[in-house]
Homo-oligomer: A and B are copies of this chain.
């Protein structure tokens, strides 16, 4: 048999469109609140309304757009509550996946090389220079670990929430600084080592710690009024007090 030339099964048109629109949202070209008019987009992309319609539904399912019957879709606008909820979800679901991964990391069909490669990408000069690129690299590494756990629902949820984070970072203009980037890489290096050693307890602890520090880092740029309000929220206490961290 000759080799399969049909290797790229080509995502469906609707998926490609959705990817393109998502990208536009993440890069700030499509701002929160913008309307997504089917006809308009159809003309822009030179394609009929059918696939456009489907792409918009995909974005809506991801939470990036809101649909109202007979009124079309608008790009949704994230707020601080959303950020906290997303981090809480990532902390919990990620913990399950990291635990699973560490417990199975010695098995033959798991190789951490892919994750290692993504970790090293975080040292690239180009990546280090850009806030959004650094965050993107961070999330790609995290998602790769979760994907290696082999838990499909959790993997999907984490990928979805990673997009949420990027939307929030874009919309709320969150900034990390150079030392944050340094810490990020060093934390991930330790995490990966513990996973490789199959020390699931320690790995989960490092994971929870990482999410907490991520939250702490992005609150640095906030005014003290906003900070006080933020720390008054039950979710914030949940993230910082409960679970594996408190008992330490």
Q: Which residue of B lies closest to A238 (CB)?
A: B99
Chain A interface residue count, Cβ-Cβ cutoff 8 angstroms: 39
Segment with Cβ contacts to B, from A40-48, A123-131, A149-157? A149-157
Is A174 an interface position by the 8 A CB rule?
Answer: no
Determine whether A1 belongs to the interface, using a CB cutoff of 8 Å to chain B. Answer: no
Confirm or deny: A209 has a beta carbon within 8 angstroms of a beta carbon on chain B. Answer: no
Contact A235 B100, beta carbon cutoff 8 Å: yes
- Which residues of B have CB within 8 Å of A204? 242
Q: Mark A5-21, 1 if CB is under 8 A from B, else 0.
A: 00001111000000000
Whether the Cβ atoms of A69 and B9 lie closer than 8 Å is yes
Any chain B CB within 8 A of the CB of A96? yes
Count of this chain's copies in the oligomeric assembly = 2
Partner of A93, one of B89, B103, B242, B247: B89
Contact A237 B54 (CB under 8 A): no
Interchain CB contact under 8 A, A103 and B243: no
Asked if A92 lies at the interface with its beta carbon under 8 angstroms from chain B, I say yes
Tell me the chain A residues, 1-58 only, with Cβ under 8 Å from chain B: 9-12, 50, 54, 57
Do the beta carbons of B96 and A238 come within 8 Å of each other? yes
> Can you list 17 A-B pairs with a CB-CB distance of less than 8 A?
A50-B50, A61-B61, A63-B153, A85-B152, A85-B153, A85-B154, A86-B153, A88-B96, A92-B96, A96-B238, A100-B235, A103-B234, A103-B237, A104-B234, A153-B161, A153-B164, A247-B247
- 9 smallest A-B Cβ distances: which pairs? A103-B234, A92-B92, A61-B61, A100-B234, A99-B238, A85-B151, A88-B96, A85-B153, A247-B247
